Amino acid sequence: MTAPANSAAQGPAHRLLRLDGVTVRFGTSARPALDAVELDVAAHEIVCVLGPSGSGKSTLLRVIAGLQQADAGAVLLEGREQSGVPPHRRGVGLMFQDHQLFPQRDVAGNVAFGLRMRGSSRAERERTVAGLLDLVGLPGAQRRAVASLSGGEQQRVALARALAPRPRLLMLDEPLGQLDRGLRERLVVELRSLFGELGTTVLAVTHDQGEAFALADRVVVMQDGRIAQTGTPLEVWQRPASEFVARFLGFDNVVEATVQGEAAATPWGKVPVPENTANGHCRLLVRPAGVRLTSAADGLPATVAARTFRGTHVTLLLQPACGPQLEAACALSDAPEVGERVGIAFAAPDVVVLDAASGASGASGAVEAAEG
Ligand code: ADP
Ligand code: MG
């Protein structure tokens, strides 16, 4: 296969991208779109930036690509400061959300676009295009009209076009945003193995946590132009650093708590906490898996308020005798009915003490810092 593979023989991971205190302001808005962002991306790493709409994800990509100027801070690619470097000389590829293929060109014309811009020979272009179309699962599609392609096929062509100039950093803005769920889930798996095969360094942004977790080696969660947390998908999922991150991931069992020894006093009564949790006041998250059902006579009495079938399990909304409603995850076979009375016990491994300082600065070390 004539894939535009990066040299796989590279030594220990080196830093490809560094953002050093990058700040971007639009107009006179009080809140910067990017607020002193610090971020490193290693060569061959797949990093996904995750955050709600308006948190600064697209601005982040645009500033790295050179399409948006930073008001403060620096973008470094392979150690080189980029402030005077125009977009086409940065060696980065950016695939926009609305992939904007050229409708008047066929598939090959679209994929070869960047190659033509840099003056590759015709033979080289044809070879590269054929290899890339193989790679994205559209072999032989060179002469097809863009309008004849499905949404997923167009997405693949846009991806091949972005990969063609062999960018040292490939940036994807909501790459699968337009597609329906099934296709998205399939493509995300394909993309991950494709990037692994090519050794491509990828910085992708999405508002979809499932997509980010499936694609990324490392996830960066953004909140109002700042980095709220970074970590592996597992770290972020298991230990959201702040209430914002927890709620963004869909965890809603969050309450005020006071830790004393091995348990915390909460509106739901005593909740066990993981070993070595510091005493004192905090916000506490109980992941749904940590809300265990017991007989109505044991545990915290509660009534099943709602029951939602999730395919692999059932989500229960429980109204306890005291405190706010609780979400629980439960196997299909033993899910109680709405209105049934149950008891609740809490399991310490799924209890997370959230950072009291709600994910502000120094968040890149949040996971480690939470240990101390
Ligand atoms: P996201 O991609 O996470 O949805 P954006 O980076 O597009 O967020 O936007 C971040 C913030 O900056 C938002 O408040 C948005 O309204 C603002 N913004 C983005 N681009 C511009 C622009 N060209 N002019 C003015 N404000 C902008
Ligand atoms: Mg955006």
State the pLDDT at residue 109. Answer: 95
With cut-offs at 50, 70 and 90, classify the pLDDT of residue 114: confident
Probe residue for ligand 1, chosen from 23, 25, 26 as the CB with the greatest number of ligand atoms within 8 Å? 26
Nearest to 203 by CA among 364, 3, 43, 5: 43
Crossing angle of helices 122-135 and 151-163, in 10° steps, is: 130
Is the per-residue pLDDT at 12 higher than 60? no
Let me know: does 125 contact 194? Beta carbons within 8 Å. Answer: no
pLDDT cut 90: percent of the chain above it? 67
In tens, the pLDDT along 228-240 reads 999 999 999 999 9
Neighbours of ion ligand 2 (CB under 5 A): 57-58
Provide the mean pLDDT of the chain.
88
**306 pLDDT above the threshold of 90:** yes
44-54 mean pLDDT = 95
What pLDDT, on the 0 to 100 scale, is given for residue 13? 61
Q: How far is CA 121 from CA 114, 131, 325, 344, in A?
A: 12, 15, 65, 69
Place of tokens 């906490």: 273
The pLDDT score that the predictor gives to residue 85 is 95
Q: Is 207 in the pocket of ligand 1 (CB under 6 A)?
A: no
273 vs 258, 263, 276, 350, 354, CA distance in Å? 11, 5, 9, 9, 12
- Are 284 and 195 in the same domain? no
- Work out whether strand 202-206 and strand 46-50 pair parallel, antiparallel, or are unpaired: parallel
Instruction: Please tell me the distance between residue 94's alpha carbon and the centre of ligand 2 in angstroms.
Output: 13
Phi, psi of 102 (to 5 degrees): -80, 115
Kindly state if the Cβ of 51 falls inside 6 Å of ligand 1.
yes
- Most confident among 179-183, 186-190, 328-332 (mean pLDDT): 328-332
Q: Contact at 8 Å (CB) between 37 and 73?
A: yes
Same domain, 20 and 144: yes
Where is the domain boundary, 188, 215, 238? 238
Q: Is 32 in the pocket of ligand 1 (CB under 6 A)?
A: no
pLDDT in the model for residue 43: 95
Looking up tokens 């915390």 gives 264
User: 345 and 261 in one domain?
Assistant: yes
Domain-located, residue 59 = yes
Do 275 and 319 fall within a single domain? yes
Q: Is residue 97 part of a domain?
A: yes
Concatenating the DSSP letter of every residue in 266-333 gives: ETTEEEE--TTPPSEEEEEEE-GGGEEEE-TTSSEEEEEEEEEE-SSSEEEEEEESSSS-EEEEE-GG
How confident is the model over 341-364, as pLDDT tens digits?
999 999 999 999 996 543 333 333
The answer to the question of residue 2 being in a domain is no
Pairing of strands 226-231, 254-260: unpaired
What are the CA-CA distances from residue 369 to residues 21, 146, 267, 354 (Å)? 20, 50, 27, 12
The residue-averaged pLDDT of 45-66 equals 96
Ligand 1, atom 1, residue with closest C-alpha = 54
**Residue 58: what are its φ and ψ, rounded to 5°?**
-65, -40
Count how many domains the chain has.
2
Pick from 283, 281, 280, 229: which is nearest to 253 by CA? 283
Residue ranges making up the domain that contains 267 = 246-371
- DSSP-derived letter for residue 130 is H
> If pLDDT is split at 50, 70 and 90, which confidence band does 100 have?
confident
**Which tokens go with 71?**
């008001």
Evaluate whether residue 276 is within a structural domain: yes
Residues 137 and 209 in one domain: yes
- Reading phi first (left if > 0) and then psi (alpha if -120 to 50, else beta), residue 82 is in alpha
Kind and range of the H or E element at 5?
A: none
Q: What per-residue confidence (pLDDT) applies to 356?
A: 52
Ligand nearest to the CA of 173: 2
Nearest to 21 by CA among 93, 67, 81: 81
Q: Are residues 222 and 280 in the same domain?
A: no
User: By the 8 A CB rule, do 34 and 225 touch?
Assistant: yes
349 ligand 1 Cβ < 6 A: no
Residue 225 is which amino acid? G
Ligand of minimum distance to the alpha carbon of 175? 2
Q: Which ligand is nearest to the CA of 62?
A: 1
Assign 365 a pLDDT band (cuts: 50, 70, 90). very low
Per-residue confidence (pLDDT) for residue 197, from 0 to 100: 86
* CB contact at 8 A, 45 and 232: no
Any idea what the CATH number is for the domain that residue 346 is in?
2.40.50.140
333, 334, 340, 341 alpha-carbon torsion, rounded to 10° = 180
Q: Both 224 and 283 in a single domain? A: no
The domain that holds 132 is classified in CATH as 3.40.50.300
Statement: residue 372 has pLDDT above 60:
no
Asked whether the beta carbons of 221 and 50 are under 8 A apart, the reply is yes
Cα 262 → chain centroid: 33
Torsion angles phi and psi, residue 259, rounded to 5? -80, 135
In this structure, how many other beta carbons lie within 10 angstroms of the beta carbon of residue 90?
20
Mean per-residue pLDDT, 198-209: 92
113 alpha carbon, distance to own chain's centre:
29
- pTM tops 0.75: yes
Encoding tokens for residue 136? 């994205």
Regarding whether 175 and 267 lie in a shared domain, the answer is no
3-state secondary structure of 32: coil
Please report which confidence band the pLDDT of residue 99 belongs to, taking 50, 70 and 90 as the band edges.
low
| Final residue of a structural domain among 212, 238, 264 | 238
Mark whether 232 and 253 lie in a shared domain.
no
